[in-house]
Amino acid sequence: MISREDALQLDAADPLAALRDRFDLPAGVIYLDGNSLGALPRHVAGRLHDAITQEWGQGLIRSWNEAGWSDLPKRVGDRIGRLIGAEPDSVIACDTTSINLFKVASAAALKSDRPIILTDEGNFPTDVYVLDAVARQHEKEVKMWDPLNDEIGSDVAFVAMTEVNYRTGERHDMAGITNRAHVAGAEIIWDLAHSAGAFPVRLAECGVDYAVGCGYKYLNGGPGASAFVYVSPDRQADFANPITGWWGHARPFDMSLTFEPHEGIDRARIGTQHVLSLAGLDAALDVFDGIDLADLRAKSLSLTGLFIELLSDQVPSAEVVTPTDSNRRGSQVSFRHPSAYAVVRALIDRQVIGDFRNPDIARFGVAPLYVRHVDIWDAVGHLVEVLATNEWQHAKYQDRAAVT
């Protein structure tokens, strides 16, 4: 069995090890919740300070031009595009993941007279709510399917999937499912909330039509950071944004009362962008500059593989639900426990921060930019103690009103 010294040696050989120092991580905390909120890159505070005091405070409205505020969504979008394998000028940073999903789902629904929208039962609830709303508006029906066993029928308008299951960490086969959708004459939408910044994504290579994702998880853009939307170049000309705002106009400052969509990805914009949010996200993306994304994936698999190995050896009562097959694994590890909520709360009190998902999932996000192998080793050690001593049975950990 791997020892703590072995874990330290793996960290010493890690080509990404120096990146941890670029994050402002609290002393003594093992942070395994980057799949809900990424850690703070140290330099982001300074960038926001300048955006507030200099660009806003001194530049005032002139900063839309002089500080480049007007172009921030496109610039940030292009930087995210590199991480998700997108073509140039096909990603824009704006709005929220849910709003962006509504945009692309509505556009895909409008183009097709087929009655069915497919998604899977493991999709994030908000995505399903948005798809239900789109289905009602376009007289379609959302159906659940099993991508491993079910076919895509000739009645399907589009398929909407989240690449990594938010509960289990299972990674779906983007290339295979996208191809199956296209063979069936359907379009495809991928939610990259648990992918972007955690491992390489290959949207263009896989022929994806649309994708959405958020900026505050593995991209570390801060709470509620701007999201992003991808529309493939061959879908942009007929992409009908259902919310037609002035920043999506071909000539927004003409102030015309007749809407004429921008010819490119800017048509996915609606209203005035959140400049401070975008400034923080833009700064956070600096951490990815010069990184080989293959190294990012290799470290993610090493960390999650170690986590699964240690759980198997030391916590046999934990039912690991994350795939052991590295091709089917995202960048998190989850296990079932009948009192997962209380276990996670006890770990948090020990400064091991993960989270819980109903009904019985303990979930731990592994952000390879700053999580170390020794963090995984120590976290499992704390888990062993919590379970061995029944620490989780303390009354204070049973109150579900608390947020984890």
DSSP collapsed to 3 states, 115-154? CEEEECCCCCHHHHHHHHHHHHHCCCEEEECCCCCCCCCC
Does the pLDDT value for residue 393 go beyond 90? no
- Residue 86, both tokens: 């997108």
The pLDDT assigned to 390 comes to: 85
Tell me, yes or no, whether 269 and 366 share the same domain: no
To the query of whether residue 216 is one of the catalytic residues in this protein, the response is: yes
- Residue 209, both tokens: 């039509």
265-319, pLDDT tens digit by residue? 999 999 999 999 999 999 999 999 999 999 999 999 999 999 999 999 999 989 9
Task: Report if residue 38 sits inside a domain.
Answer: no
To the query of whether residue 363 is one of the catalytic residues in this protein, the response is: yes
| C-alpha separations of 246 from 63, 213, 256, 261 in Å | 19, 23, 9, 9
Tell me, yes or no, whether 336 and 228 share the same domain: no
Task: Report if residue 29 sits inside a domain.
Answer: no
The pLDDT assigned to 394 comes to: 82
Question: Which of 140, 217, 235, 269 is flagged as catalytic?
Answer: 217
Check: pTM over 0.95? Answer yes or no: yes
Question: Which of 23, 31, 102, 124 is flagged as catalytic?
Answer: 124
Task: Report if residue 300 sits inside a domain.
Answer: yes
Task: Report if residue 42 sits inside a domain.
Answer: no
| C-alpha separations of 227 from 97, 139, 140, 273, 300 in Å | 5, 28, 27, 11, 23
What average pLDDT does the segment 238-262 reach? 96
322-375, pLDDT tens digit by residue? 999 999 999 999 999 999 999 999 999 999 999 999 999 999 999 999 999 999
What average pLDDT does the segment 92-110 reach? 98
Task: Report if residue 252 sits inside a domain.
Answer: yes
Tell me, yes or no, whether 274 and 322 share the same domain: no
Average pLDDT, the chain: 96
To the query of whether residue 350 is one of the catalytic residues in this protein, the response is: no
What is the SS3 assignment for 30? strand
Question: Domain holding 324: CATH number?
Answer: 3.90.1150.10
Task: Report if residue 37 sits inside a domain.
Answer: no
Task: Report if residue 404 sits inside a domain.
Answer: no
Does the pLDDT value for residue 402 go beyond 90? no
Tell me, yes or no, whether 243 and 389 share the same domain: no
CA distance 198 to 346: 27
> Domain ends where: 256, 288, 320?
288
Tell me, yes or no, whether 241 and 330 share the same domain: no
The pLDDT assigned to 400 comes to: 73
Q: What is the DSSP letter of 177?
A: H
**What percentage of the chain has pLDDT greater than the value 90?**
95
Tell me, yes or no, whether 181 and 66 share the same domain: yes
Determine the angle formed by the axes of helices 373-388 and 293-314, rounding to 10 degrees: 20
Helix locations, 315-395, DSSP H:
340-349, 373-388
Show the CA angle centred on residue 396, arms to residues 393 and 399, nearest 5°. 100
Tell me, yes or no, whether 306 and 157 share the same domain: no
Question: Which of 158, 166, 216, 397 is flagged as catalytic?
Answer: 216
> Domain ends where: 242, 267, 288?
288
Q: How many domains does the chain have?
A: 2
Tell me, yes or no, whether 62 and 175 share the same domain: yes
Task: Report if residue 160 sits inside a domain.
Answer: yes
The pLDDT assigned to 138 comes to: 98
Question: Which of 166, 363, 372, 397 is flagged as catalytic?
Answer: 363
12-46, pLDDT tens digit by residue? 999 999 999 999 999 999 999 999 999 999 999 99
Tell me, yes or no, whether 147 and 243 share the same domain: yes
To the query of whether residue 397 is one of the catalytic residues in this protein, the response is: no
Question: Which of 127, 191, 266, 375 is flagged as catalytic?
Answer: 191
Residue 222's domain comprises 47-288
The pLDDT assigned to 401 comes to: 60
For residues 162 and 191, the answer to whether their CB atoms sit within 8 Å is yes
- Residue 263, both tokens: 């010819």
| Among 147, 164, 205, 206, residue whose Cα is nearest residue 182 | 206
Tell me, yes or no, whether 253 and 304 share the same domain: no
Q: Max Cα separation, the chain?
A: 69
What average pLDDT does the segment 178-193 reach? 98
For residues 72 and 282, the answer to whether their CB atoms sit within 8 Å is yes
The pLDDT assigned to 242 comes to: 98
What average pLDDT does the segment 209-231 reach? 98
The pLDDT assigned to 395 comes to: 78
Question: Domain holding 137: CATH number?
Answer: 3.40.640.10
> Domain ends where: 236, 258, 288?
288
Q: b/e map of 21-50 (b: 16 or more CB within 10 Å)?
A: ebbebeeeebbbbbbbbbbbbeebeebbee
What average pLDDT does the segment 66-81 reach? 98
Tell me, yes or no, whether 218 and 125 share the same domain: yes
Tell me, yes or no, whether 55 and 151 share the same domain: yes
Does the pLDDT value for residue 404 go beyond 60? no
For residues 104 and 95, the answer to whether their CB atoms sit within 8 Å is no
- Residue 231, both tokens: 């529309």
To the query of whether residue 288 is one of the catalytic residues in this protein, the response is: no
